[in-house]
Structure 1
Amino acid sequence: MNKKEFFVVGLMSGTSLDGIDLVYVKFLNDNYQDFDILHSETVSYSKKWKSTLQNSIGFSSDDLTALNIEYGAFLGGVINDFIDKFQIEDIDFIASHGHTVLHQPHKGITLQIGDGQIIANATKQKVICDFRTQDVALGGQGAPLVPIGDELLFSNYDYCLNLGGFSNISFNKNGVRIAFDICPVNIVLNHYVNKLGLEYDDSGGIASKGKLNHQLLTALNSIDFYSQNPPKSLGLEWVKENIFPLIDRLETDISSILRTFVEHVAIQISKIIKDNNSVLITGGGAFNSFLMNRIEDVSKSKIMLPKTELIDFKEALLFAFLGVLRFNNQINCLSSVTGAKMDHSSGDIFLPLGI
């Protein structure tokens, strides 16, 4: 099929549990850079869903199987509401990242829940999902996946930096796209500010009033992961094992924890983007002005933020794009990024049953 354009619904649920990001995007098949985000929306989680997803890492295999189906039905409803709200009629397919529960690529494990067949049946649309499993099976990290989009859609930037639950970066080095997770960001900051009854630290205001704990900062910066060469990726399990116990042992004041961790993030990011003025920064962390200021100060780089829509929805956009590449049987996973045995086209395709 030689289509001139694709109309795609893309959705992403991040590890920071801010909600589900949805986009409706038009791509031109002969010029992927000519895309247009026609509609976008973030749907917040209910307290029940947020609690369930936070605790799902400890679920049994049977409970995870049930949750995969239940979450797929939930996503199907969210997508249908999105389609109805914006009166969307023309859809080639839905591209869903799902929600990451388990990510231990060194053990050959990665799990993003949100059953594709359930979504397809609920929406009566073709669904492309499960973008990570094949890469892990090929010996890769299964992450990060958005660099192919950075390469093909945003090549005018030297660096593409995402600040979500984790910070990850993508750049072209000697003609090869390199990408990796740098460090946790909102998954840690939100964890501690939640203890104050808040969803997040608005603009980094609480962090800016905290005291820098130099002992904690040194300990954080000394974690072995930061000295490892890419490809490398992070997951919630790693944070629970390496970050939370360290912080809880060395600091109890929330504002000081936030202040120190912001500094840690700024230092780790600055190791990569030092003295550079061509950095595309997206993700929820871009709205943390205190964090942005610290990254600028430490890295000696000029931070330029894109339009709010791109900050908020770049990952959902890029998973829609990964779906386009998969639909066309084109490479959407780069071995130079994930460490897999080969470049490949990843993602399972589901058709609605009975149609």
Structure 2
Amino acid sequence: MSGTSLDGIDLASLTFSFIDTWKFEIHQCETIPYPTSWLHKLKELTSLSLQELNQIDEDYTLYLSEAINQFIKKNQLSHIDAVCSHGHTALHQPQNGLTYQIGNLPKLASLINSKVVCDFRVEDVALGGQGAPLVPVGDKLLFSNHEFCLNLGGFANISTENDGERIAYDICPANIVLNHYVNRLGFDFDDGGRLASGGKINHRLLEALNSLPFYHKEFPKSLGLEWVQKEVFPLIDSFQLTTEDTLRTFVEHVSIQIANEINKKNHVSVLVTGGGVYNNFLMERLNNFSNNKIVIPDKKLIEFKEALVFGFLGVLKLRNEVNCLSSVTGASKNHSSGKIYCP
């Protein structure tokens, strides 16, 4: 899979088993960084015409197949039941009945000579859902010992149980904004949050960010790059701050927004995964605001939990079992989402 933070393509070899409860094992796993040419293309997806997107979809499906074949060969994988692929989100406008993930074309199965399960979001949007987040069914079935499952990727999103139902939603942008501004200094990310820790909070910007209307909406709700480009970047840029002060202020904003959600329950376990876990300063600020136990798992789970769960979504689809929860996405019903292609 490939996420909004554009770290690269996450690939993982996984085993799932079910005896009373679901168990999993993450074997080989790897993130293949994007070359500069693809980074540029993926950052500009929202500004492209549908015709241009269709061509990039063709190109990206081929690129993705090469990455998958390389991973299979490198790790000498055999007896593969299926390749479960999220692709990369190009457009996400559920309010307009639209979500489009590139890399999910039927020819992927032939290019990798394996059964493919993919395109997990489209059906949910067609059923009136947000098409996101989809990871919570994995949280419910694989990580039920944690009250909250928090992912710190391009966006911070969370899932938990509420009155016997799983709920989940995007909280706020995270790495998609932090990486955008640190790129201006020639870095891919703020290593350990050191740059942010050296900046100063601009309280007027912090107040403006915390006042964005999205934060007053009830779940289900989700965010996309288009929203960040329209609402967040122009707001931050209007303050003309140094990069360090921008990062410091935004880290505080993210920490406050996450704490607002996890502090709705007290003295519980919060499993935190995603690249944002490595931002030590962000984690320090989150701990400062939190009333709960922040649990950071091993490196494989930190970096590949989303890949793990999308693999799991594919397994559930192959078994024709529910992998999209209406309580999470707002769809008209629970359903088994995704498309299955054979070579």
Conserved 8 A contact 1:120-1:127 = yes
Looking at structure 2, the residues matched to 224 and 252 of structure 1 have their Cα atoms a distance apart, in angstroms, of 23
The Cα offsets for residues 243-272 of structure 1, whole Å up to 9 and x where unpaired, read as 000000013200000000000000000011
What SS does the aligned partner of 1:243 have?
A: helix
Runs (4+) of structure 1 exceeding 6 A deviation are none
Conserved 8 A contact 2:85-2:104 = no
Looking at structure 2, the residues matched to 251 and 182 of structure 1 have their Cα atoms a distance apart, in angstroms, of 25
Structure-to-structure mapping, 1:110-129, within 5 angstroms: 110-129=99-118
What amino acid sits opposite 2:55 in the alignment? A
Conserved 8 A contact 1:213-1:251 = no
The Cα offsets for residues 315-346 of structure 1, whole Å up to 9 and x where unpaired, read as 00000000000000000000000000000000
Structure-to-structure mapping, 1:124-135, within 5 angstroms: 124-135=113-124
What SS does the aligned partner of 1:250 have?
A: coil
Cα shift at 1:30 = 3.7
Structure-to-structure mapping, 1:207-222, within 5 angstroms: 207-222=196-211
What SS does the aligned partner of 1:342 have?
A: coil
Instruction: Give the aligned partner of residue 219 of structure 2.
Output: 230
Looking at structure 2, the residues matched to 93 and 125 of structure 1 have their Cα atoms a distance apart, in angstroms, of 6
Conserved 8 A contact 1:333-1:344 = yes
Looking at structure 1, the residues matched to 139 and 201 of structure 2 have their Cα atoms a distance apart, in angstroms, of 35
Instruction: Give the aligned partner of residue 291 of structure 1.
Output: 282
Q: Percent identity?
A: 55
Looking at structure 2, the residues matched to 122 and 116 of structure 1 have their Cα atoms a distance apart, in angstroms, of 10
Q: What's the RMSD between the two structures over aligned residues? A: 0.9
Match status 1:55 vs 2:44: yes
Instruction: Give the aligned partner of residue 248 of structure 1.
Output: 237
Cα shift at 1:34 = 1.8
Instruction: Give the aligned partner of residue 190 of structure 2.
Output: 201
Cα shift at 1:31 = 5.1
Alignment match of 2:141 (pick from 152, 155, 173) = 152
Match status 1:351 vs 2:342: yes
The Cα offsets for residues 22-56 of structure 1, whole Å up to 9 and x where unpaired, read as 11101114455321111100100000000011111
What SS does the aligned partner of 1:180 have?
A: strand
Report how many aligned residue pairs link the two structures.
341
What SS does the aligned partner of 1:116 have?
A: coil
Structure-to-structure mapping, 1:302-317, within 5 angstroms: 302-317=293-308
Looking at structure 2, the residues matched to 32 and 310 of structure 1 have their Cα atoms a distance apart, in angstroms, of 19
Looking at structure 2, the residues matched to 287 and 123 of structure 1 have their Cα atoms a distance apart, in angstroms, of 33
Q: How high is the TM-score relative to the length of structure 2?
A: 0.98
Looking at structure 1, the residues matched to 126 and 259 of structure 2 have their Cα atoms a distance apart, in angstroms, of 33
Q: How high is the TM-score relative to the length of structure 1?
A: 0.95
Conserved 8 A contact 1:116-1:127 = no
The alpha-carbon distance between structure 1 residues 159 and 131, as it changes in their structure 2 partners (threshold 3 A), is same
Looking at structure 2, the residues matched to 194 and 225 of structure 1 have their Cα atoms a distance apart, in angstroms, of 26
Which consecutive unaligned segments of at least 5 residues does structure 1 have?
A: 1-11
What SS does the aligned partner of 2:295 have?
A: coil
Looking at structure 1, the residues matched to 333 and 8 of structure 2 have their Cα atoms a distance apart, in angstroms, of 33
Conserved 8 A contact 1:69-1:115 = no
Instruction: Give the aligned partner of residue 259 of structure 1.
Output: 248
Which consecutive unaligned segments of at least 5 residues does structure 2 have?
A: none
What amino acid sits opposite 1:128 in the alignment? V
Cα shift at 1:118 = 2.4
Structure-to-structure mapping, 1:3-82, within 5 angstroms: 12-30=1-19, 33-82=22-71
What amino acid sits opposite 2:342 in the alignment? L
Conserved 8 A contact 2:86-2:104 = no
What SS does the aligned partner of 2:84 have?
A: strand
Cα shift at 1:109 = 0.9
The Cα offsets for residues 116-167 of structure 1, whole Å up to 9 and x where unpaired, read as 3221111000101100000000000000000000000000000000000000
Out of 269-278 and 337-346, give the one that drifted further. Answer: 269-278
Structure-to-structure mapping, 1:137-176, within 5 angstroms: 137-176=126-165
Out of 274-283 and 318-327, give the one that drifted further. Answer: 274-283
Instruction: Give the aligned partner of residue 271 of structure 1.
Output: 260
Conserved 8 A contact 1:116-1:128 = no
What amino acid sits opposite 2:24 in the alignment? F
What amino acid sits opposite 2:189 in the alignment? Y
The Cα offsets for residues 94-119 of structure 1, whole Å up to 9 and x where unpaired, read as 00001001001011111110033221
Looking at structure 2, the residues matched to 276 and 68 of structure 1 have their Cα atoms a distance apart, in angstroms, of 45
Looking at structure 2, the residues matched to 207 and 195 of structure 1 have their Cα atoms a distance apart, in angstroms, of 14
